[in-house]
Structure 1
Amino acid sequence: MATAAKNALIVGASRGLGLGLADTFLKRGWRVTATQRTPSPELAALVSEALTVETVDIDDDAAVAALHGRLESQTYDLVFVVAGVATRAHDPLHAVPRAVAAQVYLTNAISPIRFAEAFRDRLAPGGSLALMTSILGSVALNDEGGWENYRASKAALNTLARSFEIRHRDANVSVLLVHPGWVRTEMGGPEADLDVATSVAGMADVIEARLGRPGCAYVDYRGTTLDW
């Protein structure tokens, strides 16, 4: 008897790492529901019977609730919230307008956890919730400074994810905070160490190896545990 394909929900798959993850999991035989905030020609080009494309802005609670309703018949072995922003990341915090700083925090820390809470009931037994974080969110490893508001937003995401896992520990929830490495994307820039294919292949390997493992892990794309 053939094994049923695993099912992934990739949130924020219009380009870059999210697009690469959707493509990688499709090639590994998964069924993928991929979300975009606005129409993405690159995502549309991943033509596959195993791919479903949905539109949602994770900062919009009503839109997330509507997506939850549209996907009411689905359960997922993986829910991976990739979406994030790095607006004015190179500016010191005091130089970033309050509204911009607050929006980065909302998009990178608050909205992923609210999405996780909304979709926790869509996680299949033995599945995992993954959140795209960064090594820049590590307080212990911050030896160089810089990227202040972005660092703080990812540190907040890490803290909130740990609290989310503790809140749902009785249900043996599996939470993975994944650092993709420094990747040549629009956010990472052309000088980054890794190409998208290397990063997403590593992340997919890590996720498949840890799928459903209870607790909250903070790891990079090679599976190395990072200091909080």
Structure 2
Amino acid sequence: MQRLRPTLTNRLLASRASRRSLSAGRNSSPAHLDFRAFVDMLREDNDLADVSAEVDPRLEVAAAIRLAYEQRTKAPLFHNVKGAKDGLFRILGAPAGFSSDPKFPYRRLAQHLALPKEAGVTDVIDKMLSAKGEKPLPPVHVSTGPCKEKIIMGDDVDLTKLPAPLLNKADGGNYIQTLGINIIPHPTEPWTNWSIARAMVYDKTRMVGLIMKPQHIARIFEEWKKTGKVWNYNHAICAKGTRG
């Protein structure tokens, strides 16, 4: 009988036990799931380029970030984005790109996950797959937070004032984020979907997102339509993760 070739997932799962020594035998940093902590870590590792010159969010930012990815340079942090009121907004490029240090190419991804900087791509995948077997941490309810330091409501809301970049001249509009999280509760059942997807600014008060079957976001959207109510949609940028 011919032996079946194992799938990629099975191979990765089978290799996990033999690779655990990577993180067990070395000192690794805590998971940099807080965005500001991650930026500070890049700066400490000399893997961040602070850019003070004014940059245009229309194509120029995207071109600079693509160059950073292709040439494996430091992650660019743009402090002076054209159209950003009072310097309130900055843009970080290539957060998941290769490190500028060729000895540790996967360091940015590894340190997101509390792995040592020497970790390879298989170690990163193994760590992510292992999360499926972990018990989720319960949410912590708080009365306030940094996201409520500046609240804009009613007629003052204008998404077009955000310096969201146009990343490609063929794009339908400006994308407000890439790694943000959509948080959408089910209207009648006690569960909430968290998903990572891009969102495009449509006008002052609306964004456009991708809703595809059979993903949970599409299932919840259909249930909200049945209620006849506006769905409870929340979008978090630079949200902190739940587990290291």
- Provide the TM-score with structure 1 as the length reference: 0.28
User: Which structure shows the bigger proportion of residues in helix conformation?
Assistant: 1
Larger Rg: 2
